[in-house]
Amino acid sequence: MHPDEPGSVSLPVRAMPSASLAGRRRCAALIRLARPRQWIKNLLVVAAPGAAGALGHDDVPLRLAVACLAFCLLSAGVYALNDVRDRGEDRRHPQKRRRPVAAGELTPGEAVWFGACALACGLLLCFAVSAMLALVGAAYLAVTVSYSWLWRRLPMLDLAALAAGFVLRAVAGGVAAPVSLSRWFLAVITCAAVFVAAGKRFAELRSATEAGRRPRLVLSRYGPRSLAGVLALAGAGALFAYFMWALQVPLEHGGLWRLATVPPFAVCLARYALLVRSGEGEAPEEAILTDRLMIVGALAWLILFALAVHAAG
């Protein structure tokens, strides 16, 4: 029967998505694959030069900007490769199943191609700053990739590997500037990194237990008490190392202002531990960026730290 004849019924024809719409969706999926919200970790590249008061020296800001962008690309590439490898496990997770590869928005081949390009561009940018920074970038890549294949299965060593990624970011900043890194400064970064990593594992274990899901292999080898112990020791170590680092500057050269940064630093540590205890530390960047007390403490620390750098200059 012809559609125009009486009694005929016209069925709606579903319009195929346009190429531009499909392209926009793919671009959006690639952006989410890179996890830009987690790039806040790469601000550690600025930590060492900022602590040394070198941010206004010569071409240091440009070198740090390039180094920070390089580590954003390196981390984006690692995230992409991890999502390909973990897509089966991610599909069984209530939040991670929305990741582009697990959700089928990107094919594994597309994600691998994106990841490889991001890693290559990141290493090239590191080399553009200096050969030493390229070595640090390669070391970061080796640690993060080997973590996905090996260290994440080994209790305690997975925390050490996660902490190493943070420490290498800080070292990258010192190399890019370049400035010397004090031992106490590296101790602060290391202890704080273990603190955040232990909090993440604690929250993941609690979430899996409450949801009745089978935890990942490494999580099943942890216990809440052991993770709480690591959290407490790492937090205490970070606070002690920070206090010792603050004492390195004489009072007449801004040391008093630097000592004033100790209380807000301690508040941020304590608040994060409380957030972890309440089950909100599975995504550390979200817990830090959405909690008001954490934001206020971080801003107070930043203002006092800026005053310390100004007084020292």
Domain match, 115 and 174 both = yes
As for how many domains the chain has, the answer is 2
Domain match, 105 and 228 both = no
Query: pLDDT, tens digit, for every residue of 6-44?
Result: 444 444 444 445 667 677 888 899 999 999 988 888 988
Length, in residues, of the chain: 313
Q: Is the residue at 186 inside a domain? A: yes
Domain match, 141 and 205 both = no
Residue 121 maps to which CATH number?
A: 1.10.357.140
What integer pLDDT is reported at residue 11 of this predicted model? 46
Helix and strand numbers (H, E) in the chain are 14, 0
Q: Is the residue at 20 inside a domain? A: no
Q: Is the residue at 6 inside a domain? A: no
Mean of the per-residue pLDDT values of the chain: 84
Q: Is the residue at 27 inside a domain? A: no
Report the pLDDT averaged over residues 164-192: 91
Q: Could you say which of 180, 202, 231 is where a domain stops?
A: 180
pLDDT at 2 exceeding the cut of 50 = no
Residue (of 237, 258, 239) closest to 247 by Cα position = 258
Domain match, 159 and 98 both = yes
Domain match, 149 and 241 both = no
Domain match, 117 and 152 both = yes
Q: State the amino acid at position 284 in one-letter form.
A: P
pLDDT at 135 exceeding the cut of 50 = yes
Domain match, 135 and 189 both = no
Q: Is the residue at 29 inside a domain? A: no
Domain match, 256 and 172 both = no
Q: Is the residue at 90 inside a domain? A: yes
Q: Is the residue at 95 inside a domain? A: yes
pLDDT at 218 exceeding the cut of 70 = no
What integer pLDDT is reported at residue 4 of this predicted model? 47
Contacts 24+ apart (CB under 8 A), 131-134: 132/175, 132/178, 133/67, 133/70, 133/172, 133/175, 133/176
Give the range among 35-44, 100-109, 149-158 with minimum mean pLDDT. 149-158
Taking a C-beta distance cutoff of 8 angstroms, is the pair 214, 174 a contact? no
Percent of the chain with pLDDT over 70: 87
Domain match, 207 and 282 both = yes
Domain match, 198 and 146 both = no
| DSSP assignments along 32-96, one per residue | HHH-GGGGGGGGGGGHHHHHTT-TTSTTHHHHHHHHHHHHHHHHHHHHHHHHHHTHHHHTTSTTG
Is the C-alpha dihedral spanning 51, 184, 156, 229 positive or negative?
negative
Query: pLDDT, tens digit, for every residue of 278-292?
Result: 777 677 777 777 889
Q: Is the residue at 10 inside a domain? A: no
C-alpha 259/C-alpha 256 separation (Å) is 5
Domain match, 174 and 189 both = no
Domain span including residue 274: 182-214+221-313
